[in-house]
Structure 1
Amino acid sequence: MNRVILDFMIPLEIGVTANDYLNLMDSDYEQYPIDIWSKNLSKDSIKTLETQIVNEILRLWNMDAIDIVLCQYSNIVPILEKHNIPYEYAIETPVFLENVVKKFMYLISLDHMHENLPVMINVAASDNTLNTDKNIELITKHTNDFLSSNMINSAMHKNNASACAVITVDNLHQITNNEQNCNLSVYLDKHLDFEVSIGYGIGLNLDMAIKNSHTARREALLSGKSFIFTEKGNLIGPLNSKACMVIENHAIYDIGKIAKNSSLSAVTIKRIISILKLTNSNMVTTQDLSSHLKSTVRNANRILKNLEKGGYAKITCTQTSNIKGRPTKVYELNFHI
């Protein structure tokens, strides 16, 4: 059994023989290394997987260390045959294969449906006083030029407040580098002499996409140029930023309520909650918050004042130092989440 190897054991680096596998199965693991490894596979690791397995099999064969390979990966079968390495391809029954294919086709179908969900792009000047008919016309023109240059067909229209375009999720992946960057924002910055805010709304239908695009652009107005609001209720952004994050649906309601009551963005509230968890304290000063948010003291002070007005912060004490100046206010934050 020590001369029989299993190809799928090779990437685990815990032994490759049939004996190694049997010993693994006899161990009292809560979760087997095979299961942990398979769940954490990335696209890049899958690409190198075949090469790693083949190289190790060839090395062992050339050392006369193996007699046969029990093969799970069909792609390596031609290579084994080329080198006259004995193998058994332990494939399941035709019924099993049929069910696997049906499941695979179902997943492809779901993925295809998702890629074709409607996305509404909602663009307007960040300064509302600049949303004149002329400027909305300019935004519409340049947004259409950008989409055309990326070979994206879209339905453009404008209203009194913004320029809008309908695309698909597949198009959204393309122009945002899979929800990380906003290439449209970069393009418009080059062609307009005023800043814009962009909201991408994904919907199960067009009405939902329109509604979600307004939610995303409101967030963009508060804390960044571009945001995405998905059909699952997740908020992604700000794009083109190291601070880009995903606020999942289950947290949106509470965070959104706090943001609204404090006249702040949901992302700002999310970042402050993360800071409190990181420091394991709900006590913060303006200087502390400024340092963690990497913002000005003035902006940090504005945030704390807004939280105080919203009822989520209160001054509990002041700190003094030997250096001349005003005492530092210490705020206690409580979001009740």
Structure 2
Amino acid sequence: MAYQILIITTEYLSRYMDDIFKMHSDNVIYRIVEYKHFSELRTLYQEHAHWADGIMTTGIVVETVLRKEVKGTLKPILSLGTDNENFYKIPLKLLIENRRLEPDRIIFDVFVCISPNASVMELIQRKSVNDMFPHFNKWLEQASVEELHKIEERCVSQIKKLWEEDKLDMVICRYSSIVERLKRLKIPCVFAAISDEYAHQMVEHLLAKIKLDKITAHLPAGILVTPTKPEEGGWNEYQELNIHKTLMDFAKEHDLNFLIQKKREGLLVITEKTVVSHLTKDFQSSELSEYLKDSVDFDLTVSYGIGHTIEEVLKNIVYAWRAADGSGDAFLVDEEKHLTGPLDKGKTVLTSDMVNPHLQAVAKQASLSTMVIHRLNRLLCLLDKREITSRELADNFHITVREASRILKNLETAGFAAAVLQKSEHMRGRPAKIYHINWEI
């Protein structure tokens, strides 16, 4: 079986990538698309990704931009970076070929914006290329999309400045998009090419990721549809019949086979991951929620779960249902315990890790449930701030102010929150405390 690979690269590396993938023509059909600036990556991906089984990029920054900027689940993706062996060979070759070059005047473009003195001398002193990357990787993880879009310009500007100040003699480039620009500025540079052997290994690695993705695409999945506000004693027969008919109509319109089971909470649809991915547009919206809203005269909550077994699917559906907490919003928990949502139109979609060990540690130390800490962390991300009052927490969690105060007090006692100041929420009464949540994820 031949897999379809989308190669996202620059004009500078296009021919090289073509030569590499020609060697895999028996089991690969490939398409090369070129970018000039990182700001073009999302558009290129959106135009071509539907065709591809997997994506190969020429650089970790390209992959990072796509992961940060493209909504939904990415196709299996792998970046072709410089292998460590070549990272040593290139400066060594330069120093042997030109004895007048000094190690402290040969710099790496990938480090120049975060550590202008990241030269070959630093590589020699640290004795390991692995010691040079942690700072870069941390910056890459924390950088905004806007910062990443501008990194090429910043690099060229910084390198030009160092050149004009006579502080460098050679640049070792990993950003292939700036090589020709440096040459036009008459700045000596060499591209840190990868070895053919390493490139072929990475192609095989990507093919393995694609095969695994094909297997997991058929993992079991479930969709639970429940009344948002069930009547006392559960949901009634009218609601059950109405939901069942609407689900069958939806399945018929979308040419789907739904196995529907009656549960105490509502109706459960057993399906597979590919169907859920399709219905949620790669976990970014809930078409079924909109359809139900237009078809029935009572509020419903749709919860999605994916797992390796039916038992795991049911557990993940419960997690997703609890995340909605009576709001009517649709949430999804996948096989890796990633919670995504709300999937409702017009709302900001967030994906977070439900088994984050740090959040679990916070919950344990504060004597609170992991779900409470997880939901609070998501709420702070949505609000885009670290401060919150008991009233704000109560309104968003649909609990009493007293219960919200207990949560914040527990966090304060455990050292994860601090009352920074007070504000008056009403004309009368005691001012409300504003708590600063200070855990680091």
The interval holding the TM-score normalised by the smaller chain is 0.5 to 0.7
Q: 1:275 to 1:175 in 2, by over 3 A?
A: closer
For the pair 1:8 / 2:27, whether they are aligned, the reply is no
Alignment partner of 1:179 is 2:283: yes
* 1:104 to 1:336, Cα distance in 2 relative to 1, 3 A: closer
2:40 aligns with: none
CA 1:219–1:302 in structure 2 vs 1: closer, same or farther (change >3 Å)? Answer: closer
Deviations 1:183-238 (A, max 9, x none): 10101111111111111110012221122112211222344421101111111111
* Aligned amino acid, residue 220 of structure 2: P
Distance 1:106 1:155, change over 3 A: same
Q: Name the aligned partner's letter for residue 332 of structure 1.
A: Y
- Matching of residue 245 in structure 1 with residue 350 in structure 2: yes
Q: After the TM superposition, which of the residue ranges 233-242 and 152-161 deviates more from structure 2? A: 152-161
Change (3 A) 1:263 1:273: same
CA distance in 2, matches of 1:122, 1:253: 27
User: Secondary structure at the residue paired with 1:28?
Assistant: strand
Relative to structure 1, the CA distance from residue 332 to residue 103 in structure 2 (aligned partners, 3 Å threshold; closer, same or farther) is closer
Structure 1 unaligned residues grouped into runs of 5+: 14-21, 43-71, 73-89, 291-296
Structure 1 residue 121: deviation in Å? 0.7
- Quote the offset at 1:115 in angstroms: 1.2
Provide Cα deviations, 1:38-65, integer angstroms capped at 9, x if missing partner.
x99x9xxxxxxxxxxxxxxxxxxxxxxx
Give the 3 Å change call, closer, same or farther, for CA 124–248 of structure 1 in structure 2.
Answer: same
Aligned residues of 2:306 and 2:312 also touching (Cα < 8 A): yes
Which amino acid in the other structure matches residue 354 of structure 2?
Answer: N
Q: Following TM superposition, by how much is the alpha carbon of 1:332 offset from its aligned partner in structure 2, in angstroms? A: 3.5
Give aligned pairs, total. Answer: 262
**CA apart distance, 1:304:** 4.8
Q: 1:31 aligns with which of 110, 125, 146?
A: 110
RMSD: 4.7
| C-alpha spacing 1:193/1:209, structure 2 compared with 1 (3 Å) | same
TM-score in terms of structure 1 length:
0.60
Does 2:228 match 1:126?
Answer: yes
**Structure 1 pair 232–169 and aligned structure 2 pair: CA distance change class (3 A):** same
1:30 shift after superposition: 7.0
Identity %: 19
Output the CA distance in 1 between the equivalents of 2:377 and 2:341.
12
1:312 has 2:312 as partner: no
* Aligned-partner Cα distance in 1 for 2:401–2:438: 13
Task: Please name the residue that 1:67 is paired with.
Answer: none
Contact kept in structure 2, 1:126 and 1:221, CA below 8 Å: no
Give the stretch that moved more between structures: 263-272 or 191-200: 263-272
**Residue of structure 2 aligned with 1:212, choices 295, 310, 316:** 316
More helix by share: 1
1:330 aligned to which of 433, 436, 439:
433
Deviations 1:107-164 (A, max 9, x none): 2211101211111111110112161233123212212321231122232211232111
TM-score normalised by structure 2 residue count: 0.48
Gaps of 5+ in 2: 1-9, 15-33, 38-89, 95-105, 113-132, 146-175, 177-192, 413-417
- Relative to structure 1, the CA distance from residue 132 to residue 258 in structure 2 (aligned partners, 3 Å threshold; closer, same or farther) is farther
Secondary structure class of the residue paired with 2:325? helix
Q: Deviations over 1:61-84 (max 9, x none)?
A: xxxxxxxxxxx9xxxxxxxxxxxx
